[in-house]
Structure 1
Amino acid sequence: MPKSITTLRCACGQFSLEVIGDPFSASECHCKSCRSAAQRLSTLPPAFPIAADNGGVPYALYRKDRVRFPDGTTTLTEFRLHDDAPTRRVLTTCCYTPVFLEFESGHWVSLFTGLWPEGQRPAPRIRTQTGDVPDGETLDDSLPAGTLTTAGFYAKLLGERIAMGFKSPKITVKEKIDA
């Protein structure tokens, strides 16, 4: 049976991307990097909030071979927390819609779930990097988290890498933004 194709658009509609099928994972990340980037990017006129109310950042993870850019990537810009950061967040230049997070040499992209219309967003199934939650803040237990959950998450990433034949397609973004 063919997989469904979902078209996602930026807030102003100038940029779109297509995802094939469902994400292989949906997570809420609480690492210092995601929290800091969400806070810094909130200084731009964002199309939607990046972080959840609890400070975590919800993502839908797709293999790169399941994400297409029918209109190209010319309207995208990257943001890094610092010049040698191994991750980049990619936004549109037209309306600063957050699109995805990418790890250098990664075989997947973590799409910001705010790209989906309300009610259609992939719901997080796990929390990752909860050890980075600031002291004094607590998370509810509505999602699995912790060492075993994180180990399973990384095992799933490895399984998807194997399924892609260890390929890691490049997504070229020419512009950079500072926030």
Structure 2
Amino acid sequence: MNAITLGCACGHTRLEVQGAPILVSECLCDSCRAAAARLAALPGAASLLTPYGATASAEYRKDRIRFLSGAERLGEFRLTPDAGSRRVVARCCNTPLFLEMKGAHWLSLYLQLWPPAARPRPTLRTMTGDLDDASALPDDLPNLKTHTVAFYAKLFAAWVGMGFRNPKIEVAEKIDA
């Protein structure tokens, strides 16, 4: 299985991902757009948003990701204290690394972690129904109003492949953005 090493902007936090992602998508949900805007305001952080406001990510099984360095520098951001999702940031340079949904067996690794030439290409846009007007979106990918059965089927198949395990990722620091 092929592996690629990814890292934060300053290089202190590095992780390795094995194999191909479960899927590669761009999300336009209200939560992802709001979190991306708030994370971009952190000192030294870059925006996660595409020109049309999506957050692009590659969904990977947690058992195919390992931290090589910098795990002690991870910080979590939640839109609200009881939010079911968290965004994890490398605090050394405030690079957003991934989104984790509560109870999920996968991580959505932000595509800006890859060098542009090696970056996986999204195959769909999802949650366009959260936009006031989705007509301005490019038509280069399917623009889906919500997550589809096929989307969830891919995630479920990955969970089966993991033996229904859900590895935990410890993050000590909380981020207020």
- TM-score scaled by structure 1? 0.93
| % same residue | 51
SS across alignment from 1:69: strand
C-alpha contact 1:129 1:150 (8 A) present in aligned 2: no
> Which of 79, 82, 95 is the matching residue for 2:80?
82
Indicate yes or no: 2:91 matched with 1:93: yes
AA aligned to 1:12 is: C
Q: Contact 2:126–2:146 at 8 Å: present in 1 too? A: no
Residue 136 of structure 1: how far off its partner (Å): 6.9
In structure 1, give the amino acid aligned to 2:57: Y
Within 2, Cα distance between the matches of 1:16 and 1:164? 23
Deviation (angstroms), 1:134: 2.6
- The 3 A distance-change label for structure 1 pair 165 and 96 is same
Structure 1 outlier segments of 4+, above 4 Å: none
3-state SS of paired residue (2:52):
coil
2:130 corresponding residue in structure 1: 132
Query: How many positions carry a matched residue from both structures?
Result: 177
* Counterpart position of 1:35: 33
Do the aligned residues in 2 keep the contact of 1:107 with 1:161 (CA within 8 Å)? yes
In the superposition, relative to structure 1, how do residues 136 and 57 fare at CA in structure 2: closer, same or farther (>3 Å)? Answer: closer
Alignment counterpart, residue 159 of structure 1, candidates 138, 157, 160: 157
After superposition, the Cα gap between the structure-2 partners of 1:53 and 1:5, relative to the gap in structure 1 and judged at 3 Å, is: same
Distance, in Å, in 1 between the alignment partners of 2:132 and 2:44 is 24
* Ranges in structure 1 where 5+ consecutive residues have no aligned partner: none
| In structure 2, C-alpha distance between the alignment counterparts of 1:131 and 1:138, rounded to whole Å | 13
- 1:14-53 to structure 2, matched below 5 A, reads 14-53=12-51
Q: Aligned Cα RMSD in Å?
A: 1.6
Give matches, 1:107-122, under 5 Å. Answer: 107-122=105-120
